[in-house]
């Protein structure tokens, strides 16, 4: 008996493959059916790319090198890089995938910046060497190694509107205050472990310069650890504090006040991101 797909019009087949390939394991299986099917599911297959090991990083580079430049520029929309290296490969991926809208950084930022600067052409002695991320996503997540040594603004996209990051012992008040330099930032998520600070008031003091700018629409604070309930209750009371009151006065008649939500971190950011969950969903 012949395949029932033979009698179906190509347009209907393409619709079926497109819907089925939105599920990544299915997309991988479909890509092995034939060259024709592979070509039509490739868009969904590479829409979201997660590189968690050196092997996957090098393999992805090989794939990009076998494709035209427009492949990486147009197809890769969501990218996660948590592999340790090679750093040169991380830099190459970021430079090729210029159409990325959502980026997860989980690699060592100081190492990446140092090596990426070394990969550039020599500059004149008086030429500035300010480093900037080679792509400009609108959503960015700094996790694990990207936060271990504190916040380095050179890794943050100047066009970012949604930013999440972890606070670590190396995070300074001065570096967090520089978030106010981001002109389009409207959503900010902060994660820290209970015990890093004696009380949530230290976090409030750290975020004060950003709140005073009056541009934030949503501030989500995730507190991890068993003893975080007291911090979460304290954060929920910020709405009546003078700092937020000052921000509301500045926004009066122009923007609504910042909505502050305190949550217990129950799921890793990367897992949520890979599953396509709305990380910015602040509904109860």
Alpha-carbon distance of 143 to 221, in angstroms, equals: 14
- Confidence category of residue 107, pLDDT binned at 50, 70, 90: very high
Q: Give the pLDDT confidence of 139-164 residue by residue, as tens digits.
A: 999 999 999 999 999 999 999 999 99
Alpha-carbon distance of 78 to 97, in angstroms, equals: 9
- b/e 66-81 (16+ beta carbons within 10 angstroms → b): eeeeebbeebbbbbbb
How confident is the model at residue 20, as a pLDDT?
Answer: 57
What distance lies between CA 123 and its chain's CA centroid? 31
- Looking at residues 163-168, what average pLDDT do you find? 94
Q: Give the pLDDT confidence of 195-236 residue by residue, as tens digits.
A: 888 888 889 999 999 988 888 999 999 888 776 777 888 887
Instruction: Indicate the average pLDDT of the chain.
Output: 80
How confident is the model at residue 125, as a pLDDT?
Answer: 47
Q: How many CA atoms lie within 13 A of 129 on its CB side?
A: 13
Q: How many CA atoms lie within 13 A of 92 on its CB side?
A: 15
What distance lies between CA 17 and its chain's CA centroid? 28
Helix (H, G, I), strand (E, B) or coil at 259: strand
- Confidence category of residue 123, pLDDT binned at 50, 70, 90: very low
Residue 83 has pLDDT above 60, yes or no: yes
Place of tokens 């998520």: 189
Q: Which two tokens stand for residue 155?
A: 């890794």
Region of residue 49 (left: phi > 0; alpha: psi -120 to 50; beta: else): beta
Residue 35 has pLDDT above 50, yes or no: yes
Task: Give the rounded percent of residues in the chain with a pLDDT score beyond 90.
Answer: 40
């Amino acid at each position: 008996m012949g395949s029932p797909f033979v009698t179906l019009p190509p347009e209907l087949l393409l619709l079926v493959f497109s819907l089925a390939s939105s599920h990544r394991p299915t997309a991988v299986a479909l890509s092995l059916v034939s060259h024709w099917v592979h070509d039509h599911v490739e868009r969904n297959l590479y829409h979201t790319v997660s590189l968690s090991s050196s092997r996957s990083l090098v393999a992805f580079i090989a794939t990009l090198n076998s494709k035209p430049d427009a492949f990486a520029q147009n197809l890769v929309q969501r990218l996660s890089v948590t592999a340790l290296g090679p750093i040169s490969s991380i830099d190459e991926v970021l430079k090729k995938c210029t159409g990325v809208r959502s980026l997860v950084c989980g690699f060592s930022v100081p190492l990446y910046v140092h090596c990426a600067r070394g990969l550039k052409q020599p500059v004149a002695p008086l030429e500035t060497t300010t480093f900037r991320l080679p792509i400009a996503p609108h959503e960015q997540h700094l996790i694990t190694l990207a936060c271990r040594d504190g916040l380095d603004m050179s890794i943050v996209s100047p066009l970012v509107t949604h930013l999440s990051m972890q606070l670590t012992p190396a995070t300074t008040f001065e570096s967090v205050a520089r978030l106010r330099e981001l002109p389009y930032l409207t959503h900010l998520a902060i994660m820290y472990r209970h015990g890093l600070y004696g009380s949530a008031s230290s976090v409030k003091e750290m975020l004060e310069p950003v709140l005073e700018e009056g541009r934030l629409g949503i501030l989500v604070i995730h507190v991890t650890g068993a003893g975080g309930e007291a911090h979460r209750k304290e954060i929920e009371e910020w709405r009546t504090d003078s700092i937020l009151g000052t921000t509301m006065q500045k926004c009066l008649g122009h923007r609504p006040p910042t909505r502050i939500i305190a949550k217990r971190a129950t799921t890793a950011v990367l897992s949520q991101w890979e599953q396509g969950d709305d990380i910015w969903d602040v509904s109860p």
